[in-house]
Amino acid sequence: MEVTEKVVRDVAALAQLRVKAGETAGLAAGMKNILDLAEQMQSVETDGVEPVSNPLDATQIMRTDEVTESDQRERFQAIAPETEGAHYLVPRVIE
């Protein structure tokens, strides 16, 4: 599996990670390491094998529709990096 610099940059963009120019090679090597390891999986036939999403193959238990949470804004915003007027602040988003 070829991990090119473009692949590294594209994936970094998807993951919102900044990759400096000197870092791409290292990251590419790290990814290639694992992806080469993963190639071994192709040695086994898996047609018709049901993928595992939950190891217990269990089904969902539902919650009753009732309001159980109270207003805890102050507590939660006490640990927030930047708030104003009860809103979380981020740099201006232009749509």
Partner 1 sequence: MLERTLAEQRQDLRAGEYSSVELTENYLTQIDACQQLNAFITVSDAALEHARAADTQIAAGADKTLLGIPIAHKDIFCQQSVRTTAGSRMLDNFISPYDATVVARLDAAGAISLGKTNMDEFAMGSSNESSYYGPVRNPWNTDRVPGGSSGGSAAAVAARLCSAATGTDTGGSIRQPAAFCGITGIKPTYGRVSRWGIIAYASSLDQAGPMARTAEDCAILLSEMAAHDPRDSTSATRPGDDYTTGLEKPIAGLKIGICTEHMHGLDDAVRKIVDDSLAELTAQGCEVREISLPNTHLAIPAYYIIAPAECSANLSRYDGVRFGYRCEDPTDLDDLYQRSRSEGFGDEVKSRIMVGAFALSAGYYDAYYRKAQQIRRLIKNDYIAAFDDVDVILGPTTPGPAFKLGEVSQDKTAMYLQDIYTISANLAGLPAISVPAGFVDDMPIGVQFTGEYFAETRLLNVAHQFQQATSWHQRRPGDAA
Partner 2 sequence: MSSQWEVVIGLEIHAQLSTRSKIFSGASTSFGAEPNSQACAIDLGLPGVLPVVNEAVYPKAIAFGLAVGADIGRRSAFDRKNYFYPDLPKGYQITQMDEPIVLGGSVDITCKDGSSKTVRITRAHLEEDAGKSVHEDFHGCTGIDLNRAGTPLLEIVSEPDMASAEEAVAYARTIHQLISYLSVSDGNLSQGNMRCDANVSIRRTGDDKLGTRTEIKNVNSFRFLEQAINYEIERQIEVIENGGSITQETRLYDPDRDETRSMRSKETAMDYRYFPEPDLLPVVIDEAYIDAVSDAMPELPAEKKARYIEELKLPEADAVILAGDLDLATYFETCLTTSGDAVQSANWVKGELLANLKRADLAPAESPLSPKQLGTIIARIKDGTISGKIAKAVFTALWEGETDSVDAYISDQGLEQVSETSELEPIIDQIIADNPKQVAQFKSGKTKLLGFFVGQVMKQTGGKANPKQVNDLVVAKLG
Give whichever of 21 and 79 is closer to partner 1, judged by the CB atom.
79
> Interface with partner 1 includes 25 (CB under 8 A)?
no
Tell me how far the alpha carbon of residue 35 is from its chain's centroid.
18
Q: Cα separation of 22 and 50, whole Å?
A: 42
Task: Give 59's contacts (C-beta < 8 A, 6+ positions apart).
Answer: none
Residue 12 CB, nearest approach to partner 2 (Å): 12
Residue with structure tokens 């804004």?
73
Give the residues lining the site for partner 1 (CB under 8 A). 7-8, 11-12, 14-19, 27, 30-31, 33-35, 37-44, 46, 49-56, 58, 60-61, 63, 72, 75-76, 78-82, 88, 90-93
